[in-house]
Amino acid sequence: MRQRYAFFSVVFLFTVASASFGATRYATGIQKGGDSIVEILYTPIALNEGRTLEMLVKGEMGEDNLERLNTTPRLGKLGKLVASQDVKIGDTEVAAGEHTCGLNVDKEGKFSFVVWKGEGEEAEAQAASIELYEHDTPAEYLLFSFSPNPEGEGNALWVAYGKYAAAIPVSLGESSKEGKVAYSTGIVMDDKPVVSISYHPTAYAKGETFEKMRKGEMDDHFNDHESFGKVGTFKNSKEVKVGDLPDAPPGEYPCGLNVDGEGNFTFVGWSDEGVYKTPIKLEKHGFAVPHLAMILSPTGEEGSNLRLIYGEYHADVPISAPGSGS
């Protein structure tokens, strides 16, 4: 339970502002061998003052309003789940294919993650019940994120909204695809990916290596290693700006973290011309997240934010793509 709280407590430190995102969606997924196994594309609904959320949690929402929320893009149908094979989310079996998904709430205030079977008025919600946890750093937008399961083997789908969060176990079952499991985060506009970052969740372990990096006591062999300097792949279909780097033309770039001999960290992208680095500032959050995580989130009309989380530290990288914040 502590690890559940810890992971999304640091994610909730995003600074965001209310905005209308139109056709912009965010994505989170699980990949294997470079192929997508399951991905969720969703609308990051703004919390605003949180009154509606509190009414839902307390079971104070009227039945008609609850029905409208549960069966429309306002909550129950706010996303799309695409699976290349059968997967299991919580206790719900999800068949390979493309499905509408979202959240449902019953009249007692109990939440579930739902995947819709069928279309239109005949559609039925397959529900995976979730247990909400409270925390002290509210998320101003609804967030979904796949990650390794912090409490055991396998994977988890994190759901966060306001001061509440939940982790749902995810099982991939038998897969015909070979290779390492990786996770992805992205920005999608008009159903087309604009930015996609896939990465391997490097284990933090006891953090001894990372502490040596912070103190400038580690040589630079990790800077081009697949566990650190080239831990991920950055793909963009439009010209985007990452941190203070020059605008990146559409392409595919290895990406990750670098550290110099004085313990200064940068987020890096690699191209044929060399490595491009933008400085990042590490902030300590006081507890150890057991794996590397990268999560894109809206920041209002100005664009998006990439949060890097590793062990007891996190850092932010602003990312701007034309039209992604409007």
Distance separating alpha carbons of residues 158 and 11, to the nearest angstrom: 11
268, 252 in Cβ contact below 8 A? no
- Measured between alpha carbons, how far apart are the two ends of the chain, in Å? 37
Question: What pLDDT is recorded for position 136?
Answer: 66
The length of the chain in residues reads: 326
Degrees to nearest 5, angle at CA 254 with 269 and 316 = 50
Evaluate whether 123 touches 104 at the Cβ level (below 8 Å). no
Ordered per-residue pLDDT tens for the chain, 326 residues? 444 445 555 554 443 333 333 478 999 999 998 899 999 999 888 877 788 899 999 999 999 999 999 999 989 999 999 999 999 999 999 999 999 999 999 999 999 999 998 777 778 889 999 998 887 667 778 889 999 987 778 899 999 888 888 899 999 977 667 788 999 999 999 889 999 999 999 998 888 999 999 999 988 889 999 999 999 999 999 999 999 999 999 999 999 999 999 999 999 999 999 999 999 999 988 677 889 999 998 886 668 999 999 988 999 999 998 765 54
- Distance of alpha carbon 273 from alpha carbon 284, whole angstroms: 33
Q: How far is CA 259 from the centre of its chain?
A: 24
| Residue from 72, 306, 40, 309 nearest 188 by CA | 40
For residue 14, which amino acid is it? Answer: F
pLDDT for 226: 94
Residue 223, SS3? helix
Q: Are 189 and 325 in contact (CB under 8 A)?
A: no
Measured CA angle at 137 (ends 307, 257), to 5 deg: 15
* Those residues with Cβ within 8 angstroms of residue 21's Cβ, 6 or more apart along the chain or in another chain: 43, 44, 298, 325, 326
Q: What angle do CA 18, 24, 30 make, to 5 degrees?
A: 110
The maximal CA–CA distance of the chain, rounded, in angstroms, is 62
pTM score, whole prediction: 0.88
Q: In the β-sheet with 155-171, what is the strand arrangement from edge to edge? A: 92-94, 87-89, 155-171, 133-148
Q: Tokens 């507890």 appear where? A: 287
Please report, for the chain, the start and end positions of each structural domain, with discontinuous segments joined by +: 2-317
Q: DSSP character for 99?
A: E
Contacts (Cβ under 8 Å, ≥6 apart) of 190: 23
Q: What residue type is 239 in one-letter code?
A: E
The amino acid at 75:
L
